[in-house]
Amino acid sequence: MSITADRKYPAIGSPHPKNNPQRKQCRGECGQLGHGVWDASIDEDRILEMHALSRNPNGYAVACGRDPHRVLGLDLDRKNGLDGCARITEIAETIGFELPETIRVKTPSGWHIWLSLPPGVHVSNSVGKVGTISAPGVDVRSLGGGLVGPGSRGPKGTYLLDCAPDTPLAPIPSKLLDLLAVRDKPRTDSFVRGTAISSKRITGLVATVLDAKPGSRNAVLFWSACRMAEAVAEGGLSDNEARELLLTAAERIGLDHSEASVSIDSAFRTSHGRA
């Protein structure tokens, strides 16, 4: 991988002519080098061959989502007013998972967090979101994507290993995987699994938010939050549990995290005032 001030591109040029359809379609089936992350290998001779042909021997990439390691990368940026580190921490606290000790790389603008996907499981690459949750400054790298490898040097700085050299690659937390492997229509029980919540009323309110149509989503969220606050007052669940369920459902349907939080807070205040 070559690194310029503005972009990253394959360090080995494509073996296919510009007007040849294979230029975009071939993923290394031709046996030649020049297909970006699809050339990735763990064979030492093949790696040395790529290094010899590279236009930039100071940089290389690690392919994500492929056997044997099935790396899932979280690219966390702190630049241009964004803070991906703070956002992923906020999401983790809201959903209820912790990022494990794993391979970390300090980048010129933030960090790369390496995790391992289960066999046979793939998630989509994304920019600025985790599943359907808005996450400015957080990019997800999986099959077809790559991470700049530690030791690479670019015009903005060096990518440095930020953990012990023998740190193992940790498996992705199950709740984070649930977010990334979003179904077309999320199942309500995925939000209450692992908790003590069993009320049909509560799961019904979550389902109402998930089924909200564009143009009415904020109003539906506010109404559902008012009813959820009543369930909290009656002892059906804790205040934090209620807010987490509502916020997660709201973000799954595309509502902005901050705006959804404000709407939920307003609904809880309104409900408490009536009480």
* Tokens 């069993």 -> residue: 198
Tokens found for residue 248: 């997660």
pLDDT value for 173: 95
> Can you name the residues that pair with 74 across neighbouring β-strands?
113, 140
**Does residue 4 carry a pLDDT above 60?**
no
Structure token digits, residue 261: 């939080």
Contact (CB, 8 A) for 81 and 148: no
Residue 8 predicted with pLDDT over 60: no
pTM of this prediction?
0.59
Supply the pLDDT for residue 96: 92
Residue 117 is classified by DSSP as P
Q: For residues 227 and 204, what is the distance between their CA atoms, to the nearest angstrom?
A: 11
Give me the mean pLDDT over the 62-72 stretch: 89
Contacts by 231-238, CB closer than 8 A, 24 or more apart: 231/199, 231/201, 231/202, 231/205, 232/268, 233/271, 233/272, 233/275, 236/197, 236/199, 236/201, 236/202, 237/196, 237/197, 237/199, 237/202
Question: Between these two residues, 87 and 39, which has the higher pLDDT value?
Answer: 87
- Share the mean pLDDT of the chain: 81
Mean pLDDT throughout 229-251?
Answer: 82
Q: Which is more confidently placed, 119 or 92?
A: 92
Residue 10 pLDDT: 64
Checking if the pLDDT of 54 tops 90, the result is no
42 vs 5, residue with greater confidence: 42
Query: Rounded to a whole number, what is the largest CA-CA distance in the chain?
Result: 73
- Name the band, by pLDDT with cuts 50, 70 and 90, for residue 27: low
Using a pLDDT cut of 90, give the percent of the chain over it. Answer: 32
Q: What is the pLDDT of residue 7?
A: 47
State whether the Cα torsion 220-223-229-232 is positive or negative. negative
The arithmetic mean of pLDDT across residues 207-220, rounded, is 87
Whether the per-residue pLDDT at 164 is higher than 90: the answer is: yes
Query: Residue 98's pLDDT is what?
Result: 95
